[in-house]
């Protein structure tokens, strides 16, 4: 029987979870991350969840959990292992993946690029290259021309600001360039021996800004190229939003405004005209002047699922259909996840009441997976992975989400 106070979602609302190729598939070579692992700078991804071979089993689980949509990404290095050379076998694989979703009545949402770059591209400068937008657009339009009959929803890229700031400001991800105000050090790695070069001045900051600019252009260029081969496809960008907030203090309010501008609006202002919809990835907030102590996720992030509402409202200003493309919690013991999901979904419902045109909600992630520099320790999955045996175990919180999906309400 339906709960009397059920907060219902619009008819046809999509419920599901997300994954990304490098984090779950296994066996991906010739990328900047695989090279960084060989060089001992990041953990090996290895066979990951072996999702490349077990996608059918995983989609059976998703279906059994009431999911009606699934977001996943295509591995650029599989499709275009050499500059301008496209691999038909890789296309055939992703066609089978898409068909497997259709057979189960689960709508696919494809992200064309989720952080990892083919080696030929990263080693020649990656998104620092002036012609990166055209190279990226060529890849995107190729994939859509080959998969567009099996999928209508394509996101060009995942979290451009996270990619650029980790790679060019913090220096924690490939290409490991770090911006330090006093002593700017860029560590580059050619071959196997580390060679570090100190760059002084503002050059690394300018490189970062150039990369951001190229990413925005790359999205816009890819949008145009995709529309040429598949005019009816829905093309989006997936944007990571950090919700910067402040207490009463006007100085804190100004800082939060500036932070939101530089993290979210600056990029979105450049691309929203070439978006049919926008995906939102939300994980955490930062409230300036806040003394409250929050409970923490296993990532040491404040537990604040309520922030999803305001984050959706930040993107609602662009007046496009929105979808929650990722939002989730690392919670090894599965003690917070159920409540987190419930609050997350309530926040999404609340944003819809305030006028945001939200069409779907994807929890991050369907499976435990490779959490980038942190390897396999952090557990985001609705489904637990035993990395020794690759056995899948559905976590109790997944059933809380299942009820929400099946009721289309919370």
- Contact residues for ligand BGC (CB under 6 A)? 20, 23, 158-159, 162, 240, 281, 326, 364, 371
Task: Tell me how far, at minimum, the Cβ of 225 lies from ligand BGC, in Å.
Answer: 23
Which bin fits 159, alpha (ψ -120 to 50), beta or left (φ > 0)? left
Q: Residue 44 or 86: which CB sits closer to ligand BGC?
A: 44
**β-bridge mates for residue 364, sequence order:** 18
* CA of residue 169 relative to chain centroid, distance: 19
CB 243 within 8 A of CB 285: yes
Residues, the chain: 410
Q: Residue 21 or 186: which CB sits closer to ligand BGC?
A: 21
Q: Residue 9 or 115: which CB sits closer to ligand BGC?
A: 115
Q: Residue 364 or 376: which CB sits closer to ligand BGC?
A: 364
**Which residue, among 345, 337, 339, 272, has the nearest Cα to 308 in the 3D structure?**
345
CB 113 within 8 A of CB 156: yes
The active-site residue out of 25, 75, 159, 326 is 159
| R_g of the chain, CA atoms, integer Å | 20
Question: In angstroms, what CA-CA distances link 72 with 66, 333, 378, 379?
Answer: 17, 25, 19, 18
Q: Per-residue b/e over 67-100, b at no fewer than 16 CB within 10 Å?
A: bbbbbbbbbbbbbbbeeeeeeeebbebbeebbeb
The number of beta carbons lying within 10 Å of the beta carbon of residue 199 is 16
Q: Residue 216 or 329: which CB sits closer to ligand BGC?
A: 329
Q: Which residues contact 52 (CB under 8 A, 6 or more apart)?
A: 25, 26, 27, 93
Residue 134 is among the residues annotated as catalytic for this protein: no
- Active-site residues, by number, are 159
């Amino acid at each position: 029987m339906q709960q009397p106070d059920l907060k219902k979602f619009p008819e046809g609302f999509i419920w599901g979870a997300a994954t990304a190729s490098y984090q779950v598939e296994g066996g991906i070579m010739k990328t900047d991350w695989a090279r960084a692992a060989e060089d001992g700078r990041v953990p090996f991804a290895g066979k990951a969840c072996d999702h490349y071979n077990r996608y059918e089993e995983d989609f059976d689980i998703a279906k059994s959990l009431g999911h009606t949509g699934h977001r996943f990404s295509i591995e650029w290095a599989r499709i275009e292992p050499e500059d301008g050379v496209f691999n038909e076998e890789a296309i055939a694989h992703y066609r089978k993946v898409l068909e497997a979703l259709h057979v189960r009545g689960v709508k696919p949402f494809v992200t064309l690029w989720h952080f990892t770059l083919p080696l030929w591209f990263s080693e020649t400068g990656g998104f620092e290259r002036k012609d990166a937008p055209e190279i990226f657009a060529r890849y995107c339009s190729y994939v859509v021309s080959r998969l567009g009959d099996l999928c209508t929803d394509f996101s060009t890229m995942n979290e451009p600001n996270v990619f650029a700031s980790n790679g060019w400001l913090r220096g924690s991800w490939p290409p490991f360039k770090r911006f330090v105000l006093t002593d700017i050090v860029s560590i580059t790695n050619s071959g196997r021996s580390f060679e570090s070069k100190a760059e002084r001045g503002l050059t690394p900051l300018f490189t970062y800004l150039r990369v951001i600019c190229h990413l925005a252009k790359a999205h816009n260029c890819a949008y145009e190229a995709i529309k040429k081969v598949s005019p009816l496809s829905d093309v989006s960008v997936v944007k990571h939003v950090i919700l910067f907030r402040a207490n009463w203090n006007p100085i804190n309010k100004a800082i939060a405004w500036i932070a939101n501008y530089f993290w979210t609006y600056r990029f979105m202002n450049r691309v929203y005209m070439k978006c049919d919809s926008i995906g939102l990835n939300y994980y955490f907030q930062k409230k300036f002047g806040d003394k409250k102590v929050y409970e923490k996720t296993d990532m040491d992030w404040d537990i604040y699922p309520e922030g999803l509402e305001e984050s959706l409202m930040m993107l609602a200003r662009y007046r496009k259909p929105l979808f929650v493309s990722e939002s989730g919690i690392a919670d090894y013991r599965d003690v917070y996840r159920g409540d987190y999901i419930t609050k997350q979904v309530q926040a999404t419902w609340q944003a819809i009441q305030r006028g945001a045109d939200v069409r779907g909600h994807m929890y991050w992630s369907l499976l435990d997976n490779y959490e980038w520099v942190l390897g396999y320790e952090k557990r985001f999955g609705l489904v637990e992975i035993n990395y020794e045996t690759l056995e899948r175990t559905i976590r109790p919180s997944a059933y809380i989400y299942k009820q929400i999906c099946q009721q289309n309400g919370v």
